Amino acid sequence: MNRKGNDPEREKAAPGTLFIVSTPIGNLEDLSARARRTLSEVDLVACEDTRRTRALLTHLGIQKPLVSYHKDSPRKREEDILGALLAGKHVALVSDAGTPLLQDPGGELVRRALAEGIRVVPVPGPSAALAAWVASGFAGGPFLFYGFLPRRKGERRKVLADLRDFPYPIIFYEAPHRLRATLADLLDVFGDRPASLARELTKVHEEILRGSLEELVRWAEAADVRGEITLVVAGAEEATSREEGLQPSSEERLAEALAWMDRRTKEGMGTKDAAKEAARRFSLPAREIYRRFHERGSEERESPPF
């Protein structure tokens, strides 16, 4: 007969808790008191870059064991973190800045923790996506957070084509060295529509620009762009509603675009180039203009001459 103290089931530690902790995206004053307390009480901190997280903890006067956990971490790293949680250790998951799991690693860790019966607790706080959203001028209704677009132009344009008719505003992240190419593709695929661009959020050089995609393209071409970028682009439905009462309806603008294309193609411009330019001028999708132009041409050719 086992004595109470030797019962394996009784000796097994209860699982620890996995805390998803948001950290500042720039201004250290944005760290919540709860986040600070959580970081001071956990047994282990899993982070993307140990150097950046160690600097934050040092600033807070906190010393904790750190383990690197990023998109290229070996599978064993995830196993080690789960093992610590199952052994009763409390773990904080943080990203380099902002709220973890918004295009940061950790999704699989959370799913596996939940499958093991481990408690997962969010500690909310700073987020570049939400900060840019509430200051964009679009906030107050539904939106889509997409994050980083593909780096390759062809893949990026394919994704944008799939998103073009989405009715609500879309939030994108982008690196400064890819901003010009991404804005150019947005303008070409979406047509000109309202957008905002936020960079260096909560930092000394914070800047939020609001205007049209065409205006942002011109700004990016002339600026020395630095810092991580968050874009908020009006959805197809909102872009149209903002034009009501100020500009002609979509069908009227399409008719104007087709008439403009007629003139330009007769002057020698290629139909694809003319469709792209018309899309910019009349805030309509280039593909739709191109399709309707050729459909109309077919109808005119098939119509009897009387």
177-189 residue pLDDT tens: 999 999 999 999 9
Rounded-to-integer distance, Cα 183 and Cα 172, Å: 11
- DSSP sequence for 67-110: EE--TT--HHHHHHHHHHHHTT--EEE--SSBSTTSSSS-HHHH
Exposure of 306 by Cβ count < 10 A (0-12 exposed, 13-18 middle, 19+ buried)?
A: exposed
> Which residue blocks in 25-178 are alpha helix, DSSP H?
33-41, 50-60, 75-86, 107-115, 128-134, 153-163
Report the chain's mean pLDDT, rounded to a whole number: 88
Amino acid 198: pLDDT: 97
Q: Determine contact, residues 134/235, Cβ cutoff 8 Å.
A: no
129-147 residue pLDDT tens: 999 999 999 888 999 999 9
Whole-number percent of the chain with pLDDT over 70: 89
SS3 assignment, position 287:
helix
Strands in 229-233's sheet, in edge-to-edge order, are: 144-148, 170-174, 229-233, 194-199, 207-212
Amino acid 103: pLDDT: 83
pLDDT at position 174 over 60: yes
Q: Determine contact, residues 84/43, Cβ cutoff 8 Å.
A: yes
261: DSSP letter: H
Q: Determine contact, residues 281/260, Cβ cutoff 8 Å.
A: yes
Q: Which of 101-105, 295-299, 302-306 has the highest mean pLDDT?
A: 101-105
Rounded-to-integer distance, Cα 144 and Cα 132, Å: 13
CA distances from 184 to 108, 147, 166, 216, 279 (A): 34, 17, 19, 9, 13
Candidates 3.30.950.10, 3.60.20.10, 3.40.50.12780, 3.40.50.2000; CATH matching 129-242: 3.30.950.10
Question: How many Å is the maximal CA-CA distance in the chain?
Answer: 106
Nearest to 216 by CA among 200, 199, 237: 199
Q: Nearest 10 degrees: CA dihedral of 289, 292, 298, 299?
A: -140
Rounded-to-integer distance, Cα 148 and Cα 138, Å: 20
Helix axis angle, 213-222 to 179-190, nearest 10°? 160
Domain boundaries, the chain: 17-126, 129-242, 247-299
pLDDT at position 108 over 50: yes
Nearest to 236 by CA among 183, 179, 172, 170: 170
Amino acid 5: pLDDT: 46
Q: Calculate mean pLDDT across residues 98-104.
A: 91
Q: Which residue has the higher pLDDT, 276 or 18?
A: 18
SS3 assignment, position 20:
strand
Six-digit token pair at 32? Answer: 């919540």
CA distances from 190 to 33, 148, 173, 220, 305 (A): 42, 17, 17, 18, 38
Rounded-to-integer distance, Cα 154 and Cα 58, Å: 44
17-126: what CATH class? alpha beta
